[in-house]
Chain A
Amino acid sequence: MANSNILGKYSPYNTIIHRLDPRFKLFSLILLMVVTFLPYGNYTNRFIILGVLTFFIALIMIIGKVSFRSFFKSLSSMWIMFIFLLIFMFFIPNEGKYLIHTFENGYSLYYDGLLNVGHIILRLVLMVALTIILTSTTLPMDITYALEWYLTPLKLLKFPTQIVSLTISLALRFIPTLLNESNRIMNAQKSRGVDYNRGFLMSKIRSITTLIIPLLVSCFSRSDELAIAMEARGYDPYKKRSHYKTLHFTYRDLFAIIFVLLLGGIMITASIFACYYQGCDDFINIIFGVPTI
């Protein structure tokens, strides 16, 4: 099932990162993602901040035994974006502060473009890394539990959190089953002469329908049977249910949350300094007294 590896698959180790509370991991993921996308003033500032983040994220990846192979695999589809960014931010602008070279016809290239592309790519890579850390160290079921926990305040508004979280976990549970099924249908259709690889757009779309329709039909009959099985085991969406697993917040999580909040706090402060207090925008220069660009 190579298809299900797109955003990383759970790898069953027992590291500190695996044992952290999924609620905390979900929160940190969002916080760190926000932090990577905050503005930090000039290029030196940006790269130093991103460098610090890269260091910590790489450290977490090593501690959590995240497979670097699957990480690079999911990055491999980003090269198209890289080319686009190069075209739009490096070759087209024709303006900037730091000149590389001016051609005879007046067209010139600037370092600004390269730096811009670099820092956007770095941000995206960090975002992918963060997502992979979450998915490879946390069971899908635990992520659902965490989501349910975050949704609990909505219960006051009569929002059916229990139903929503069960729906999500059932959907996650059936992804591999349906992938297997679609493979089986594809093989069955191939043996009947459908060619999924060749042909132009229209014929490709037509051949895909031979996969989609049987898959949809089987999905409906599956969900029907599943509903009957759930009811037969006494499931009632509006009754109070107990939980087989509950999440426990330990001292380990406390240390981790202090660390993440500190890191996030420093980054956010830096960003505010850089962007809202004029004169402070070059904080690296102010603090360390080194020239910046």
Chain B
Amino acid sequence: MEQEVIKVENLSFSYEKEKKILNNVSFSINKGEYVTLIGHNGSGKSTLAKLLSYILEPNKGKIYIDNEELNEKNIKNIRNKIGIVFQNPDNQFIGSTVEDDIAFGLENRNIKQEEMKKIVKEYSKKVGMENYLTKEPEELSGGQKQRVAIAGILALNLKIMIFDEATSMLDPEGVEEIRNLILRMKKENPDLTVISITHDIEEAYLSDRVIVLNEGKIYKNDIPSKVFENEEEMKKINLDIPFVLKIKNKLKTKGIEIDENIKTIEELAKYICL
């Protein structure tokens, strides 16, 4: 029996009365799943992210996190279960150095100093920032800052992580870094639930499940290979399909079958060349 950690029920939201940004959205996410939420600009995905992190309050409908309703009363409790990585790497870097920033959430939880030192060391290693502990944010790239933010959240040992367009302000290298980090993180801790709201279709292709939003409604909610099956359909809602899949489809028309499990460009290149 799979355990539901996030349940969204009939969620609706509008800034003004006439136009609904989100219209009756329902879905649920199980423990340990890696779900990506995609959609073109104006599809309502950023609004959904804000609702999930309780920056906005829904007009109608409910969000349950770990069987607790997300509301004013519960929010402090629920903040101990979800961590959010935001879009702008600068505006979530709170400490003056890398180690101070990783420790910020731990300080808030009143954890003892010796323990904190250990945790900071451990998690900075996990995100590959152990050699940058005393660096200031100005000396780091965007991708490195996001890695620090991820370490700061991982260190709190939370059940759910939300990536709120965490890669949209990064350069391609940074995007790649974060994408690989999420996958590695998932491998190390299969119980961690990850929801990533993203522009990055390549990332969506690597996740367990993709939820496609279009004009405030759920357009598709399925495993990536099913979601991206029909290129025409995706183009209609202004979304593209992953590059690897495009090549696979082209090859297919030429009569060359490629293994279902191949999902990254490197793997594909290896497969074709060997």
Contacts and interface: CB of A to CB of B under 8 A. Distances in A.
Interface of A: 1, 12, 139-141, 169-170, 172-173, 176-177, 180, 222, 225-226, 228-236, 239-246
B96 A140 contact: yes
Contacts of B136: 176
Contacts of B105: 233-234
Given A173-B137, A176-B136, A229 B94 contact: yes
A233 B108 contact: yes
A141 B107 contact: no
A242 B138 contact: no
Contact of B108 (A12, A141, A180, A235): A235
A225 B88 contact: yes
Contacts of B203: none
Interface string B16-51: 000000000000000000000000000000000000
Contact of B138 (A177, A228, A232, A236): A177
B94 A242 contact: no
Interface stretch (B75-83, B214-222, B223-231, B236-244): B75-83
A48 B53 CA distance: 66
A233 B158 CA distance: 11
A222 B136 CA distance: 18
Contact of B116 (A140, A240, A244): A244
Chain B interface bracket (under 10, 10 to 19, 20 to 34, 35 or more): 35 or more
Given A222-B91, A225-B88, A240 B96 contact: no
Contact of B91 (A229, A239, A240, A243): A229
A241 B79 contact: no
Nearest to A222: B91
Contacts of A139: 96-97
Given A177-B90, A222-B91, A239 B96 contact: no
A236 B80 CA distance: 12
Instruction: Tell which of B76, B100, B107, B111 has the most Cβ of chain A within 10 Å.
Output: B107
Contact of B97 (A141, A177, A180, A242): A141
Given A234-B105, A236-B108, A239-B110, 20 more contacts: A172-B96, A173-B137, A176-B137, A222-B91, A225-B88, A225-B91, A225-B92, A226-B91, A228-B53, A230-B94, A230-B104, A233-B83, A233-B108, A233-B152, A234-B108, A234-B156, A242-B107, A242-B110, A244-B113, A244-B120
Contacts of A170: 94
A234 to B, nearest CB: 4
B95 A243 contact: no
Contact of A226 (B79, B94, B107, B109): B94
A139 to B, nearest CB: 7
A231 B88 CA distance: 16
A180 B156 CA distance: 31
14 contacts: A141-B96, A141-B97, A173-B93, A176-B137, A225-B88, A230-B104, A233-B108, A234-B109, A241-B108, A242-B112, A244-B99, A244-B103, A244-B107, A245-B100
A73 to B, nearest CB: 21
Interface of B: 53, 55, 76, 79-80, 83-84, 86, 88, 90-97, 99-100, 103-113, 116-117, 120, 134, 136-138, 152-153, 156
Contact of B92 (A141, A172, A226, A244): A226
Contacts of A235: 104, 108
Contacts of A225: 86, 88, 91-92
Nearest to A241: B107
A177 B107 CA distance: 24
Given A139-B96, A228-B55, A242 B106 contact: yes
Contacts of B53: 228, 232
Nearest to B104: A233
Question: Which 4 A-B pairs have CB atoms at the shortest separation, nearest pair first?
Answer: A244-B103, A229-B92, A225-B91, A233-B105
Contacts of B138: 1, 176-177, 180
A30 to B, nearest CB: 23
Nearest to A228: B55
Given A228-B55, A233-B104, A241 B96 contact: no
Contacts of A230: 94, 104
A169 B106 CA distance: 17
Contacts of B137: 173, 176-177
A228 B103 CA distance: 17
A229 B86 CA distance: 7
A229 B110 CA distance: 18
B74 to A, nearest CB: 14
Nearest to A1: B138
A239 B55 CA distance: 21
B110 A173 contact: no
B96 A173 contact: yes
